[in-house]
Amino acid sequence: MSIHKDNATGKWRVVYRYTDWTGETHQSSKRGFPTKREAQMWERELLLKKEAKLDMTFESFYEIYVEDMQNRIRDNTWGTKTNIARTKILPYFGKRKIGEIEPRDIIAWQNELLAIRQPNGKPYSASYLQKIHSQLSAIFNHAVNFYHLPSNPAQKAGNMGKEEHREMLFWTKEEYLKFADAMMDKPVSYYAFEILYWCGLRMGELLALTPADFNFETHTLQINKSYQRVHREDVITPPKTLKSNRTIKMPQFLCDEMQDYLKMLYEPKEDERIFTISKSYLHHEMNRGSKVSGVKRIRVHDLRHPYVKPTTKKFITFFEVFRAAS
């Protein structure tokens, strides 16, 4: 590496070489340092990162963590993780040496978060605090498992929150039919909830559906993708888990309904999304339909949980439940 001053701008520049994963050597540079000292500090941090030595700052190691993990995590999940790191973790630990952070430092950080009050005067929820701590612990675990950090100080300090287990509510068939009647004034809402209820899809799976996913001859629906809205862009990803790739048997009445719905659309292509609505739209419609029909409000996500057998956790449709009971 070398450090030079640009006489034209008065700024300092670091020129360095690096070897990529194929073994090929490249040269690059970093410009714009106001002082030579700042250029030297940046050069030192870069060397520590390349040599994976933990005498670096937390924010420098976080860059390594991002490089290692970003492509392994779903885009929407990664967005949540990076937002937590950027707003709740890096401002506190960013400039600290990662190898010098101790459990007592974690406890002091936890106490600051516990003391925060939101604009409505309430503290962060226990589940949100648990999520923040888990992200910090994940970064330290990565340093322990792959970069020889002796121990995880976040794990030693213990969590400051706990995951909240909300009571899961269900609709009876009669309650759902009342709700569905209230949805019939908006066809896209009615058909979306029909699929959610009778097939037990996740919202992302519903919003990714295309005409090609339906086979009306075999009465089946193929689930092999999920829709996410990330950074104001539509993103199609694989389903949440490997087992989420599945084929669902549809009752005849649902096949008839979906054929009617597809005819209502303007000649959709086989690979074109048929529900071009958003998750927030579904939440809004759930609120509206529950109020109009007079049934209790449940979460959209809770529509799918009655479909899981409690003994085997195998996914089945309500249609199969009713058919087996008849």
CA angle 306, 303, 259 (to 5 degrees): 110
Banded pLDDT at 3 (limits 50, 70, 90): confident
Q: How far is residue 69's CA from residue 82's CA, in Å, rounded to a whole number?
A: 11
Q: Mark whether 118 and 177 lie in a shared domain.
A: no
Q: How far is residue 77's CA from residue 99's CA, in Å, rounded to a whole number?
A: 27
167 occurs within a structural domain: no
DSSP state of 97: B
Q: What residues does 13 pair with on adjacent strands?
A: 4
Average pLDDT of 128-156? 91
Last residue of a domain, one of 95, 128, 157: 157
CA angle 132, 303, 255 (to 5 degrees): 135
165 occurs within a structural domain: no
At residue 25, does pLDDT exceed 50?
yes
Banded pLDDT at 304 (limits 50, 70, 90): confident
Q: Mark whether 118 and 186 lie in a shared domain.
A: no
Closest CA relative to residue 2, chosen from 33, 25, 29, 24 = 29
At residue 81, does pLDDT exceed 70?
yes
Q: Mark whether 135 and 207 lie in a shared domain.
A: no
At residue 325, does pLDDT exceed 60?
no
Asked whether the beta carbons of 133 and 110 are under 8 A apart, the reply is yes
For 189, residues 6+ apart whose C-beta sits below 8 A from its C-beta are 183, 285, 289
For residue 167 the two structure tokens come to 């009571």
Q: Mark whether 318 and 181 lie in a shared domain.
A: yes
Q: Mark whether 236 and 92 lie in a shared domain.
A: no
Q: How far is residue 86's CA from residue 192's CA, in Å, rounded to a whole number?
A: 36
DSSP state of 9: T
162 occurs within a structural domain: no
Q: How far is residue 149's CA from residue 146's CA, in Å, rounded to a whole number?
A: 8
Q: Long-range contacts: 314-319, Cβ < 8 Å, 24+?
A: 315/200, 315/243, 315/246, 316/200, 317/198, 317/199, 317/200, 317/248, 317/249, 317/250, 318/173, 318/197, 318/198, 318/200, 319/198, 319/249, 319/250, 319/251, 319/254
Q: Mark whether 115 and 248 lie in a shared domain.
A: no
User: Strands of 246-249's sheet, edge to edge?
Assistant: 214-215, 220-223, 246-249
* Number of structural domains the chain divides into: 2
Banded pLDDT at 162 (limits 50, 70, 90): low
At residue 118, does pLDDT exceed 80?
yes
Range from 112-121, 151-160, 230-239, 244-253 carrying the lowest mean pLDDT: 230-239
222 occurs within a structural domain: yes
Q: 201-240 pLDDT, tens per residue?
A: 999 999 999 999 999 999 999 999 999 887 778 888 888 7
Banded pLDDT at 39 (limits 50, 70, 90): confident
Give the CATH number of the domain where residue 230 resides: 1.10.443.10
Q: Mark whether 177 and 129 lie in a shared domain.
A: no
Banded pLDDT at 323 (limits 50, 70, 90): very low
Give the DSSP letter string of 21-52.
TTS-EEEEEEEEESSHHHHHHHHHHHHHHHTT
Give the CATH number of the domain where residue 78 resides: 1.10.150.130
Closest CA relative to residue 169, chosen from 6, 9, 305 = 305
Q: How far is residue 56's CA from residue 121's CA, in Å, rounded to a whole number?
A: 38
Asked whether the beta carbons of 194 and 317 are under 8 A apart, the reply is no
- Length of the chain in terms of residues written: 326
Q: Mark whether 44 and 105 lie in a shared domain.
A: yes
104 occurs within a structural domain: yes
Q: How far is residue 242's CA from residue 12's CA, in Å, rounded to a whole number?
A: 50
Q: Mark whether 310 and 218 lie in a shared domain.
A: yes
Q: How far is residue 159's CA from residue 157's CA, in Å, rounded to a whole number?
A: 7
Q: Mark whether 13 and 153 lie in a shared domain.
A: yes
Last residue of a domain, one of 133, 157, 181: 157
221 occurs within a structural domain: yes
At residue 309, does pLDDT exceed 50?
no
163 occurs within a structural domain: no
**Residue 185 corresponds to which amino acid?**
D
Pairing of strands 25-33, 246-249: unpaired
Buried b (16+ CB within 10 A) or exposed e, 203-224: bbbbbbbbbebbeeeeeebebe
The answer to whether the pTM exceeds 0.75 is no
Helix (H, G, I), strand (E, B) or coil at 237: strand
Q: Mark whether 206 and 243 lie in a shared domain.
A: yes
Banded pLDDT at 167 (limits 50, 70, 90): low
Banded pLDDT at 313 (limits 50, 70, 90): very low
- Domain region containing 20: 2-157
Helix (H, G, I), strand (E, B) or coil at 112: helix
Q: Mark whether 191 and 148 lie in a shared domain.
A: no
At residue 2, does pLDDT exceed 90?
no
pLDDT at 317: 46
